[in-house]
Every structure is written in C-alpha cells, then in structure tokens.
A and B are shown apart, each in its own frame.
Chain A
C-alpha cells in the first residue's frame, strides 16, 4: 500500500480493540446486544484521548507510537466497525424473514429503577431516560456507511494530520473530537426514539463546530464554525418544535410506540402532524445544508480536510436524510399512515430540486477544489431529498411500488454518494497536502512573505497532476464518474431511479412535480460539467505553477483508504444493485413483502438490471433515462474538456485509463471562456447568489440589535441579580461563620439554645 513500513507496525495497538467483537461472539453474545459497543467504545475512548493527550502532550511514545491519539481513535472506530459489520451480517443472513428485520433492543435504562417506576414516574412513559436500538435496513446501511467511512477517514488522518507541522501537539484534540463526532452519528442512527436521536444530533452539531473551527486562530475558520453552528441551530430549533408537537400527538417519542400506528386508528389531526413533520424537515434541511439553510456548508471547508470528508460523506449531512427517511411510516397510507400529507412530499421534492440546481450552478465557477466538492455534496444530497420527497408523495397516495423503488434508490444513492464523496474529499486532501508540501519544500528558506500568497487549494495553481499523483488521479476519476452518473458506475444505479420516478410522478400523477423533475434532470447535465471541470483542471493539461513539478505522492497512510474506496466506487454500485440493494433498502417499510429480491441466476439478474436501467417498460421513462445519460455523460464532460482539458507535458504519463482520458480530453478542441467569467451571472454565482449577503443584511438589522439588547439584559439584570445573590451570600457567610467562635463554651451555649428550641417546638406545636 505504500505506507511506511515502520508505521504500519503501529496497527498492532488496535488489535485489542478489534478483538472485542470476536471475543463477545465467542462468549455467545447476540449481535444486537453487542450493538451497544458501536457507541460505547468510542464513548469511552474519546475522553481518554483528550485527557491523556493533554497530559502527555509532546511525549515521545504518545507522538510516535500513538500518533497523538490517532491509533486509539482508529482502534475505537475499528471496534465500532466490526460490531456494525456483525449486525449487518446477521441481518443479511436472515433476509428471507423480513418481518423480523425491525428489531428493538433496550440496552440502557437510566434512572428507570423499579423504585421510580413503581408508583410515580417523571414521565408518563414506561421508562424515563431509556435508550435502545432500532434496527432495520436503513439503520444498517447508514450505520455501515458511517462506521466504515469513519474508520477509513481516521486512517487517512493519521497521514494527513500527523505530517502537517501546523497541527503538532494539537492532534489529540482532533482525534478526541473526531471520535465524539463519529459516536454521535452512530448513536443517532441506532437510537430507538426521537429524543435520543435529537441528543446525538446535537452531539454532532457541537463537534462540527469544534472541528470546523479546529484552526481557531484563523479568523475565517472561527467565522465558519460559528456560521455552521448557528445555521444548523436554526434548523435544530425547528426540529425541537416538531418533536414537541409529535410528543403532544403521541405522548411518546419512541419509534415503537409511534410507528406502531401513526394514525392512532384514524384519529390523528393530519394538519397538526403535517406541521410536526414540516418542522422536523426544516431541521433536516439545516443539517443537510439544503436551500435555504445551505450557507454554512461551503464555509465548513475551513476545517481540516478529513473533517470535510467526515461531515460531507460519513456523518452529519446524512443525518438529515435519515430523519426524512424515518418520516415514511407517518405518510404510508397503506400501513396506518395518515392521508392528506402529499404537500409534505411536494415541499421536500421542491427543496431538493431547487438546491440541486442552485448548488450545481454555483459549483460551475468555484476554483477551490474543496468548494467544488462542497457544492457537489449539496447538489447530490438534494437529489436524495427529491427522491425522498417523491417517495413520501407516492407513499401518501398508496402507490406502493413506485414509492418503494424511489425510496430504495434514494437510500442507495446515499450509499453511493457517501462512498464516492468520502473518497473524493480524501483524494482532494491528498492533492492539497502534497501541493502544500511541495510548495513548502520549494520555498524553503525563501523567507516568510512568499508562502502566504499561494493557495494550495486553488485549482488554478494545479494542472498536470495526473502523472505526479497517479493513485489520487485514478481515485478521483472514479469518484467523479460515480457522482456524475456515468453508466454502470456507482451513482448511476441510484440516480437513474430517482430521476425516473420523479418524472413518473410528474407525468402520470401530479403536474406540480414537473418542477423538481425538470430541475434534477438539468442538474444531471450540470453535474457532468462541473465534476469533469474539477478533474480536468486538477489533473489534465500542463502544470500551471512551478510547484506542481515538485509534487510527489508519498505521505504514509493516505493511499490505502483511497484504493479501497476506489474499488467500492467503481464496482460497488453495480454489485450492490445486482444484489438488490434498492429493494433491500426499501424493505424497511415494505410491509407487504411483495418486492422481488432475487433473480434466479446471476446472468438473469444482470440482464434484469440492465434492462431496468436502460430500457424501462414505460416509453416516457425510457426517454427521460436516455436524456439523462446524454446530458450527464456526453454534454457536460465534453464541454468541460473543451474548456479545461489538455494533454500532459511531454514525457509524462499516468495509469492507462487516466492517460487515455487526458489525451482524449484534448481532442474536443479548445474554447476560451475567460470573457464569460466577467458576466453578471458568473459574478452572482461567484458570490453564491448573494444568499450570504442577504442573510447577513437581515441579521444585521434584526437579530443583532436584539442580541445586543439581550446582552445588555444579561449583563445588567441577570448577572446583576447573580452578583447580588453572591454578595449577599458571602456577607451572610461571614455572619454565620462568626457564630463559630472557636470556644467550646459558646458551642455548648448554642447546643443548649438548640435543645430549648427543639423542646419548645415539640411542646408548643402539640399542645
């Protein structure tokens, strides 16, 4: 794998962590009992990393052997991953028994001792602060994605973070927060009620703040972390309101209670439920950075690159999707759902469509490699929201089959996107790291001033990296292809389903669906353009700065995750599609069990899948499918190649496929678009369509005066009150202590006074 030999020996230290799950298996535990470990092991590890790191900061063993806590973090995440894999294995193993797919296990009931339960409880529920796990196919898929990617990203960080001198002696903070973040996601996915879901949701919110602001001494990072925190907080407030309403309706926040019969035998007020779900959806919008709460996500790129990978692929943004996916039982009229909630599906789909289009448009003009990826994340998540919106709409109209298809596709897209995007971020991290490294190397000794002008994230400084970084170039190529939806690769298998079913809804049922349907179709083409543009700008053509000449791909730990994810991205989509991933993923809400999961032979299932993808039965869907392929596969990439493509310098070469792609890109001619970048639209896009300015303007006129008032109120009234209490207490304390004279005679006098007053009270109160 190219990792330094001396360092791979460090993996010995994670063996004890990895041994936990096999040990429990040998002890006869069940996989769902062991699911506590997925959260518990990181939960016990993160304080250890933080405390030990603080105490033994800079010591040799901690630094070189423990990688400032990275090895411990890797071990903990490895334990989570193995426990999650065990769960997945167990449930895939019992696939035919779909009714048993949903399983609930209680593993922690805090403050719910019999004593408190017997006669009076703090709440009306059967337990007070209990916690359990809720396992179905969605849980398992997202759990697998989260544990797997967290593990790989942590691995990547060992190379990325620990070789960057700016992080020196700070990495324990990074790894501690990383692990806490990861456990927030694991816990949120596993939680069996909305309260715990919310608690873990907030854990993630906190950690995103801490991690985005990891370079807190940089103003931009501090600003970005605040922005991310506050923007998602807006969503969280709505989510909380939604949960309040939900609790008001059902008297519980537990999945098992609510999902048992969301319509409460038809007595639910559907308007009230609509508002609850809408509020929860706004929470999801904030977390998943959708329009209009999308502004935080591009700025979140201020954090270290592994954090970007963590937020955008493995954890936080998926949380919002997960929450929306959990809304299906409310609207599934085929199974105790509540009718009349079509509007919710429409709203979700529209938010998705608008975000997809807008983010793709902004991505056109970004020159920062991570920002392109950030907008691409927004856009792809918006696809999934559109898909979920259609699914909600279909479920609410009892179109069960179409609903299941689009729901499964959306969830599958989440998987494909997470894998591809996790890898893309790590690959971009690899590029940035090596370019930065090369720059430092080049300008070593040139004095300070020079280094500050150079931005290692700006693609205009790159170009021609394909020959310098063949592994990264290959990885990024497959990642981009998956995101674009090049036929047969990764995201193609899921994106196709989302677009087709959204169009189906528009064509056959609900004209209002045309909006999102057209938007996502256009976005497919735009995705083809901006992803190709990013790749060509970075890897094709001749180097645009002298730094590139000195780039080498040699940092340890970085390549392995890239290779693993490249394989999954390249072949995983097709393989999982063949295995029936979409059907399996929608099985969480498939109560009738009529989905056909298996074709008889492999060949049959390949043919079935291909036919399903390229030649669907309905002729208009066939047209939609081919238009999508045409836009995303042909139009977008070729345009990008005309503008940014080009041959490598003479004598340079890369891996065969990459070389072929680069040389092909030079054959479409050359087009100069520099004049376009001056146009008004381009300027508007570069300014992110002025959303940030708008929000800032509104905030400056409303929230900030109000907060100045509350600050005054806090300082003078509340603090004043507290200070008064403190002053009074202290003077009272001095008075009271004066009674402790130190003379035994006075003590006895006081005791006598006490005795007399006791007797007086006893006698006086009772006669």
Chain B
C-alpha cells in the first residue's frame, strides 16, 4: 500500500513541475488581477461579490476586457515552452504519485500547445451575449470600443480562461500520474472544466443541452470507471501502477475482479477517446460547444484518454510475448469505432458533427494500433514503433483537427458554421482560410505529404510489418497466405478501407468550398489572432509531414515512447 504521498515544497519539485507551477500562478493572477481596484471581490464562476472595503471602481487596465485573454495567453505560452524544455530532462519522481519524464512531458507539451492555440484563437470569440457583434474593419475607433465592451464582459471572460487553465492543470498533471487514483482525480479536474466549457453558451439552447448531455454521459462513464478501479483495488490492494503490474504478472489465470475492473475502466477511457459506442454524446457536445472548445475535446481531451489507455493497458496488462486479455475486445471495438465514425460522418450536414465523427474514426485507427501492441506477436521494438505512431498521430492531430475547428470558429463569428452550406464558396470569400481548411481535411484524410499521411503511414506500417510476417510464406498462393496470416493484419486492411471511405466526406468539404457559389460574397470578418492560429496550424501541418521538423518531432516522440516502454 502506497500512500498518495505529499508534494515536497522545494526548488527541485518546482523545477520539475514548472509548467504546472506557472499555470497555478496564472490561475491566481487571473482571479486577482481583474478585481484590482474594485471595492467588491467577485468569486470566480459565480455572481457573488464580497466587499473588501478597499478601493472604488476598477482601474482602466484591469477593466480592459482583453485582460484575461492576455493573462491566459502568456500563462499557456510560458507553460508550453517550459514543458517543451523539460522533455529532455531526466525522469524524476515527485511526491510518490507523479513521474515527470519524457513521456509525460511530450503529452503535456501537446496539451499545452492545444490550449495555447485555443486561448489565442478565442480572443473576441467568446461573446458575453450571443447577440453581440464583433467589430468590423470599417468601424470607427469609438464604435470598435463600444462593440468590444458589449461583446466582452471581462468578468465572464475571466471564467472562461479560469476554466481553460484548470483544464490545462488537470491534463498536464494527469500525464504524470503513476497512481490510478491520482490519474482519475486529474482526469476529472480536466473533464469537469470541459463540461462547463461546452455549456459556456448557456443562453443558446444548443449549448445548454450539449453541456448537459455531455455531463450526464460523461459522469456515468466516469462512475463506471471508478467502480472498475475500486474492483482493481479490491483485487490487488493498491492503485499504484507498478504494484498493479506486478500483481497482474503474478496472476494465475484470469481473476474476475481484475478482468471486470479493467473492462470497466475501458468504458471510462473509451468515453474520453470517444470510441463507439461510448461516443454518442460527443457529436452533440462538439456541435453545441464553441468550436475552439470542440477542437480541444477532439484533440487534447482525446489524447488524455489515450495516455490513460497507455498507462493502464500497456503498462499493467501486457504480458511478455503473450496475448493480452483485452486484445480481442479492443480489436473488435476499434473496427466498430472507425466504421461507425466514418459511416456517420458520410451524411453529416453539420461540419462540426462531421468533424466529431471523423474524430471517432481516428480514435478507431489508434485503438487498432494499440490492439496490435497487446497481441503478443510484436517485439518491444515493434511496440515502440506502433505507440510512437499513435503518439505522433495524436500530436499532429492537434494541428489539423484543431485547425479545422478553428476555421469553423471563424465562420461562427458571423453566426454560421453549423451547416455545410456555410462553407460554400469559402474559396472565393477568403482563399487563405479556405486553403488552410482544405489542407486540414486533406491531412485528416491522410494525403501525402501532410502530417496526417505520415502518422497514418507509420501506424499502418507498424501493424502490417508486425502481422504480415505471421502469414505462411508458402508460395502456393495468396489464399493460403490470407488464411494463415494473423487476424491483426485485417485491422490494417480495415484502416485502409475506412480511409478510402472517409475521403468521400473530407473531399466534399474541398468541393463545396471551391466549386459552390457562396450565399453572400462578403469577405469574412477580421479576426487577426484567430487567423494567426489557423495559419500556424496550417504551416505546421505541412512541416510535420515532411522535412526536418517532422523528423525532429518524430525523434522526440520516439525517444519518449522508448523510455516509456523500457521503464
């Protein structure tokens, strides 16, 4: 039995947890600064105000509606950079339940990058009132100021960014957790914040409904997961991953507690990665939430689920050279997930729902790769390759999936974006944005030389090279080979077939953007920071597909996964 330990408050800890420390500081700053000068202190996320007997009205600076966004941008930028720097640091255990190593830092860097992009992109994007207009280029100085003040009530802005920083804290702590309890707490910290973020547009019916559904289904899934965890505790007497691993290896046969426990935890993580059939609330949530938040759910939140799967499935339950308990289940669910996602996306008329289903399909691809790791036919090196591919895919997904949602978010500035008709003629209205969107969908479809192709290639290559050699090398024909090859080979085939199917709806986006007539040919409204985020995503989507940047990223991920598998 290990205790959950205590965080020692020394400089070593602070430097190992630098990104988290920064986010904590940012959180404090964002709570305090907008209240400075006011005689009443507003309790965040509520309308309760406590008189502090000092001051009068707020200063100009603290009254500035853009202040919370700036604090959040700086916080995430610093946290991202420090996390990036920490990747190459040697592993360090903190407080008995956290392990700051390359693996966790690769993922926390990924999460922080996504949050940074979201934070940058949401400048002006989260109006306090749904009917508020955003400033136009043609407006006078005074009109811009007036519109911004209507648009953004900074008190509400504060809430948004507080939640965003909480998500960041939960996610980046979660990557380091080596204890299931700690892991669940961190996941819940992040998840609860995202539930509120999804429902942030509580005035609109879609927002409230989406948040409620997402919360209900999410809590049920979490409850099942926590119940599974308690079964595991009952079985082994500990929630420490190392202890669980040892008990698993010492297990004789299959203990029902262990099997049920793992199965139930799969439900919780399956919800997080939006695997079928636990994904059903996801399309509703994605389409009801503000697009940047949907993007966050589809990338960082999903990756969080995969970290949990890595920890629980790969570390605890993969026996040496034998088939893991969950391999067949995961293989079947992966195929169901990818097919369901792609089929449902095929006729979606709402681009956000389409992207949500595409995100389900991508989860299926990655689950298939993990199933191969559990098959027992892959050597450790091959497992490293496959998990590297999955992690790389998650990393580049932040670029193009989030990028695609940000483009939709750009349409939302004019109250559109919930129907594919709103994309019509985007190529004429704004060629740069349309070009970026096209790049994103191509990358989602896996077209070379974009990063989506590289990650998919690595994944399929990993699966095929692991499984194809199991086929009979008898020269008597392809039929004998097909009979004798390990069923896992057909997972690769399923991925390829599904990719072909998915092209249909991805390319449709390109088709309507460039070949349909727009309803109005007015150019999109100016949104400099959002455009900046979109272009950054587009350029990186390309750079991470070919050339030195992709090699650098791949080496980084590979190193992290290598140490993760050999710890």
Identify the A interface with B (CB < 8 A): 51, 55, 110-111, 113-116, 118-120, 122, 726, 729-730, 732-734, 736-737, 739-740, 742, 744, 746-748, 750-751, 753-755, 757-759, 761-763, 765-767
Select from chain B the residue with minimum beta-carbon distance to A112.
B551
Once A732-B343, A744-B212, A762-B262 are accepted as A-B contacts, the answer to whether A753 and B461 lie under 8 Å apart by CB is no
| In the bound complex, CA of A679 to CA of B271 (Å) | 87
Q: Which residues of A contact B264 (CB under 8 A)?
A: 755, 759
Q: List A contacts of B343 (CB < 8 A).
A: 729, 732-733, 736
Residues of B close to A763: CB separation below 8 A: 254, 256, 259-260, 263
Given contacts A51-B435, A737-B347, contact A744 B221 (CB under 8 A): no
- Known A115-B558, A116-B461, A739-B280: A758·B346 in contact at CB below 8 Å: no
Residues of B317-368 contacting chain A, CB below 8 A? 325-326, 328-329, 332-333, 340, 343-348
Contact B329 A762 (CB under 8 A): yes
Q: Which partner residue on chain A sits nearest B551 by CB separation?
A: A113
A509-B23 Cα distance, complex, nearest whole Å: 87
Q: Does B283 contact A (CB under 8 A)?
A: yes
Interface-central residue, A739, A759, A763, A767, by most chain B CB under 10 Å: A759
- In-complex Cβ contact of A766 among B259, B266, B555 (8 A): B259
Chain B min CB distance to A751 (Å):
5
Instruction: Give Cα A737–Cα B360 distance, bound, in whole angstroms.
Output: 13
Interface size on B, residues (CB 8 A): 59
B143 within 8 Å of A by Cβ? no
Do the beta carbons of B346 and A746 come within 8 Å of each other? Answer: no
A744 near B326 (CB under 8 angstroms)?
A: no
Question: Within the complex, what minimum Cβ distance (angstroms) separates A557 from chain B?
Answer: 30
A765 to B254, CA, bound (A): 10
Could you tell me if B454 and A111 are in contact, using CB atoms closer than 8 angstroms? yes
List of A residues within 8 angstroms of B217 by Cβ: 744, 747-748, 751
Q: Does B101 contact A (CB under 8 A)?
A: no
Q: Counting CB contacts under 8 A, is B278 at the interface? A: yes
Contacts of B388 in A (CB 8 A): 115
Q: Would you list which residues of chain B between 291 and 332 have a CB under 8 Å from chain A?
A: 325-326, 328-329, 332
Minimum CB–CB distance from B479 to chain A (whole Å) comes to: 22
**Contact across chains for A762 and B263 when beta carbons are under 8 A apart:** yes
Give Cα A744–Cα B504 distance, bound, in whole angstroms.
30
Dominant secondary structure of chain A at its interface with chain B: helix
Q: A116 CA to B462 CA in the complex, in Å?
A: 9
28 examples of A-B residue contacts, CB within 8 angstroms: A55-B431, A110-B449, A114-B555, A114-B558, A115-B388, A119-B381, A119-B465, A729-B504, A733-B347, A740-B280, A744-B217, A747-B213, A747-B216, A747-B280, A748-B216, A748-B220, A751-B267, A753-B277, A755-B264, A755-B267, A758-B267, A758-B329, A759-B260, A762-B260, A762-B263, A762-B325, A763-B259, A765-B325
Q: Does B270 make an interface contact (CB < 8 A)? A: yes
Is A729 in contact with B267, judged by CB distance below 8 angstroms?
Answer: no
Whole-angstrom distance from the CB of A718 to the nearest CB of chain B? 14
Contact B457 A754 (CB under 8 A): no
Judging by beta carbons under 8 Å apart, are A754 and B267 in contact?
yes
- Which of A55, A746, A747 has the most chain B CB within a 10 Å cutoff? A747
User: Contacts A740-B283, A748-B216 hold; do A758 and B333 have CB atoms under 8 A apart?
Assistant: yes
Residues of A within 8 A of B332 (CB): 761
User: Contact: B344 with A761, CB < 8 Å?
Assistant: no
CB closest residue in chain B, given A726: B504
A734→B278 CA distance, assembly (Å): 19
Docked Cα-Cα span, A114 to B557, in Å, equals 13
Hey, which chain A residues are within 8 Å of B276, CB to CB?
Answer: 754
Which residues of the partner chain B approach A753 to less than 8 Å between Cβ atoms?
277
Q: Note all chain B residues with C-beta closer than 8 A to A767.
A: 253-254
Q: Inside 8 A of B385's CB, which chain A residues have their CB?
A: 115
CA distance A762 to B276 in the complex (A): 17
Whether B284 sits at the interface, judged by CB under 8 Å, is yes
Given A110-B546, A733-B346, A737-B347, A761-B329 contact (CB < 8 Å)? yes
Report the 7 A-B pairs with minimum CB-CB distance, sorted nearest first: A761-B329, A733-B346, A747-B280, A733-B347, A759-B263, A750-B277, A754-B277
Residue B189 CB within 8 A of the other chain: no
Partner of A736, one of B221, B253, B325, B340: B340
**Residue contact A742 to B504, C-beta cutoff 8 Å:** no
CB distance from A731 to the nearest CB of B (A): 9
Question: Cβ of A766: which chain B residues have Cβ within 8 Å of it?
Answer: 254, 259, 325
Given A120-B465, A765-B329, is A758 in contact with B454 using a C-beta cutoff of 8 Å? no
Say what secondary structure dominates the interface of chain B: helix
Select one of A55, A116, A736 contacting B344, CB under 8 A. Answer: A736
Residues of A within 8 A of B551 (CB): 113
The answer, yes or no, to whether B74 is at the interface (CB within 8 Å) is no
C-alpha gap A748/B215 in the complex (Å):
12
A665 to chain B, nearest CB (A): 58
Docked CA distance A761–B278 (Å): 16
A758-B281 in contact (CB<8A): no
- A417 CB to nearest chain B CB (Å): 38
Interface residues of B in 525-562 (CB under 8 A from A): 546, 550-551, 554-555, 558
Report how far A110 CA is from B558 CA in the complex, Å: 17
Indicate whether B224 reaches chain A with its CB closer than 8 angstroms.
Answer: yes
| Candidates A118, A120, A732, A755; contact of B224 at CB < 8 Å | A755
Closest residue of chain B to A765 (Cβ to Cβ) is B328
Of B224, B278, B449, chain A has the most CB atoms within 10 Å of the CB of B278
Task: Report the minimum CB–CB distance from B565 to chain A (whole Å).
Answer: 14
- With A740-B280, A751-B278 as contacts: A762 and B270 at CB distance below 8 Å: no
| B213:A762 contact, CB within 8 angstroms | no
Measured CA separation A761–B328 after assembly (Å)? 7
Given A733-B343, A751-B267, 20 further pairs, Cβ under 8 A: A111-B454, A115-B385, A115-B388, A115-B558, A119-B381, A119-B382, A119-B465, A120-B465, A730-B346, A739-B277, A744-B212, A747-B217, A751-B220, A751-B277, A753-B277, A754-B270, A754-B277, A754-B333, A761-B332, A765-B329
Give Cα A754–Cα B388 distance, bound, in whole angstroms.
28
Most A CB atoms within 10 A — which of B213, B345, B388, B457?
Answer: B213
Tell me the bound Cα distance from A733 to B349 in angstroms: 12
Q: What residues of chain B lie closer than 8 Å to A737, measured between beta carbons?
A: 344, 347-348
Contact: B267 with A740, CB < 8 Å?
Answer: no
Chain B proximity of A217: nearest CB distance (Å): 21
A63 to chain B, nearest CB (A): 18
Query: Taking CB as reference atom, which chain A residue is nearest B328?
Result: A765
Q: What is the distance, in angstroms, from B268's C-beta to the closest C-beta of chain A?
A: 10
Residue of A nearest to B466 (CB): A120
Kindly report which residue of chain B lies nearest to residue A735, judged by CB atoms.
Answer: B343
**For the complex, what is the distance from the CA of A733 to the CA of B501, rounded to whole Å?**
11
Question: Does the CB pair B381–A747 fall under 8 Å?
Answer: no
Contact A742–B346 (Cβ < 8 Å): no
CA distance A408 to B348 in the complex (A): 65
Say yes or no for B24: interface residue by CB 8 A criterion.
Answer: no
Question: Does chain A have a CB within 8 A of B458?
Answer: yes
Alpha-carbon gap, A408 to B161, bound state (A) = 73
- Inter-chain contacts of A758 with B (CB < 8 A): 263, 266-267, 329, 333
Question: Cβ of A734 and Cβ of B554 under 8 Å apart?
Answer: no
Q: Taking CB as reference atom, which chain B residue is nearest A757? A: B329
CB closest residue in chain A, given B347: A733
For B558, the chain A residues whose CB sits under 8 A away are 114-115
Which residue of chain A is the closest to B281 with respect to CB atoms?
A747
Do A740 and B329 touch across chains, with their CB atoms under 8 A apart? no
* Chain B residues whose CB sits within 8 angstroms of the CB of A122 once the complex forms: 461
Cβ contact within 8 Å between B263 and A755:
yes
Residue of A nearest to B558 (CB): A115
Complexed CA–CA distance, A739 and B283 (Å): 12
- B341 nearest CB across to chain A (Å): 9
Contact with A along B245-267 (1 / 0, CB 8 A): 00000000110100110111011
B221 close to A740 (CB less than 8 A): no
Is there contact, CB below 8 Å, between A746 and B280?
Answer: yes
CB distance from A230 to the nearest CB of B (A): 28
User: Are B449 and A762 in touch, CB under 8 angstroms?
Assistant: no
On chain A, the residues within 8 Å of B254 by CB distance are 763, 766-767
Q: Are B259 and A733 in contact (CB under 8 A)?
A: no
